């Protein structure tokens, strides 16, 4: 298929030409470049030359459109009202040129010094207006004094705590020495918990007449002598028949029905019968017919490891 051609008139030279599209304006590239040159868009002289758009001077390698910032500002209409301004720096007193009408100082260092000076003036004005004004130096001194006072108070508190601790320790040591002296002078008659023999004790908490009786209460000795002291013929039913279902502690009848089964587990009540040792196993008692009787579970727990007779 052949392409469509449209007859157009060139806007530069006025000649008619065949164009591929309706919006075409120029017949050739020379006419387009000449029109761009008149509009100051791009300077074409064969290849593109690096020339400042504003003043026409040759551009350095790193520049693309303008040779300086002044040309850029003039081209964009940023400095129509005024050009290069000459001013005197109020800090260092040097003459300098600028395009900014609001710039006061020549450098950043002078700018910082100028603003600090204004801040000091504002502080003086504020201090004259307010009689209770406190300067930054005075506030710093006050904070240092406050910190020193806090450190002093902390040291004093630590010292007082150390003194109180020493006092408490001295009182505890005094009580300990008094107890030791009391125990050394202690001579009273006690009754042995295991054999019931009377003996003179040298300690207020003494329970046994000898080490032999003390060893009998030890769980390891009970385990060691378990085969010798256990009578395997003793059962709850036999003990209940022997004592006619009567609790030997309170004198009331035991209740065999005081129990219930929950989720496959039997839970006995307070009045259910139990075997009680007259002389507890923890105090050298034997698991034999002479040392067992019938008792409610409640009475057995109340009796605990006491010897009733």
Establish if 286 belongs to a structural domain: yes
Are the CB atoms for 193 and 283 separated by under 8 Å? yes
Q: In angstroms, rounded to a whole number, what is the distance separating the alpha carbons of residues 87 and 159? A: 68
Largest CA distance in the chain: 148
Q: Is residue 102 part of a domain?
A: no
SS3 260: strand
Flag whether 124 is in a domain. no
- Residues ≥6 apart with Cβ < 8 Å to 136: none
Q: How many domains does the chain have?
A: 2
**56, 75, 94 — which closes off a domain?**
75
Sequence-distant (6+) residues with CB within 8 A of 8 are: 16, 17, 18, 19, 22, 24, 25, 27
Full pLDDT tens readout for the chain, 309 residues: 456 777 888 888 888 888 877 778 888 888 887 777 666 544 444 444 578 888 888 887 778 888 887 788 777 765 554 567 788 998 899 998 887 778 889 998 998 888 888 887 777 777 777 777 777 788 899 999 999 999 999 999 999 999 999 999 999 899 888 877 877 777 888 888 888 888 888 777 778 888 888 777 765 555 555 545 577 789 999 999 999 999 998 889 999 999 888 888 888 889 999 999 888 888 878 888 888 999 999 999 888 888 876
Of 75, 94, 113, the domain-final residue: 75
Structure tokens at 276: 């009680």
Residue 199 placed within a domain: no
Which residue in 239, 244, 246, 234 sits closest to 271, CA to CA?
A: 246
Residue 34 within any structural domain of the chain:
yes
Domain containing 65 equals 6-75
Q: What is the CATH number of the domain that holds 280?
A: 1.10.30
DSSP letter (8 states) at residue 27: S
Residue 250 belongs to a domain: yes
Domain annotation covers residue 64: yes
The reply to whether 204 falls in a domain is: no
Residue 246: partners with Cβ closer than 8 Å, 6 or more residues away: 252, 253, 254, 294
Least Cα distance to 230 among 221, 222, 238 occurs for 222
Domain boundary among 75, 96, 113: 75
* Assigned token pair, 268: 């006995």
Q: What is the model's pTM?
A: 0.30
Torsion, Cα 171 173 179 185, to 10 degrees, reads -120
Query: 295 and 247 in contact (C-beta within 8 Å)?
Result: yes
């Amino acid at each position: 298929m052949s392409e469509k051609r449209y007859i157009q008139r060139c806007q530069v030279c006025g000649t008619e030409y065949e164009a591929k599209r309706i919006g075409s304006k120029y017949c050739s590239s020379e006419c387009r470049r000449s029109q761009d040159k008149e509009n100051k868009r791009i300077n074409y002289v064969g290849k593109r030359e690096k020339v400042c758009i504003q003043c026409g001077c040759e551009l350095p390698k790193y520049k693309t459109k303008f040779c300086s910032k002044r040309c850029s500002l003039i081209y964009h209409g940023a400095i129509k009202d005024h050009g290069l301004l000459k001013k005197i720096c109020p800090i260092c007193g040097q003459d300098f040129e600028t395009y900014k009408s609001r710039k006061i100082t020549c450098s950043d260092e002078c700018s910082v010094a100028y603003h600090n000076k204004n801040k000091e003036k504002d502080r003086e004005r504020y201090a004259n207006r307010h009689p209770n004004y406190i300067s930054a130096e005075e506030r710093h001194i006050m904070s240092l004094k406050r910190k020193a006072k806090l450190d002093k108070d902390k040291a004093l508190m630590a010292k007082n705590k150390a003194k109180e601790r020493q006092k408490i320790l001295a009182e505890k040591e005094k009580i300990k020495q008094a107890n030791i002296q009391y125990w050394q002078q202690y001579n009273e008659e006690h009754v042995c918990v295991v054999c019931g023999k009377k003996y003179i004790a040298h300690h207020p908490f003494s329970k046994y007449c000898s080490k032999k009786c003390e060893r009998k209460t030890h769980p390891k000795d009970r385990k060691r002598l378990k085969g010798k002291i256990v009578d395997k013929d003793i059962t709850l039913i036999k003990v209940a028949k022997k004592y006619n279902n009567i609790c030997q502690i309170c004198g009331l009848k035991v209740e065999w029905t005081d129990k219930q089964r929950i989720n496959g587990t039997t839970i006995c009540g307070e009045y259910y019968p139990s075997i009680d040792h007259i002389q507890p196993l923890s105090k050298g008692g034997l698991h034999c017919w002479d040392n067992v009787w019938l008792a409610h579970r409640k009475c057995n727990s109340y009796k605990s490891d006491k010897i009733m007779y």
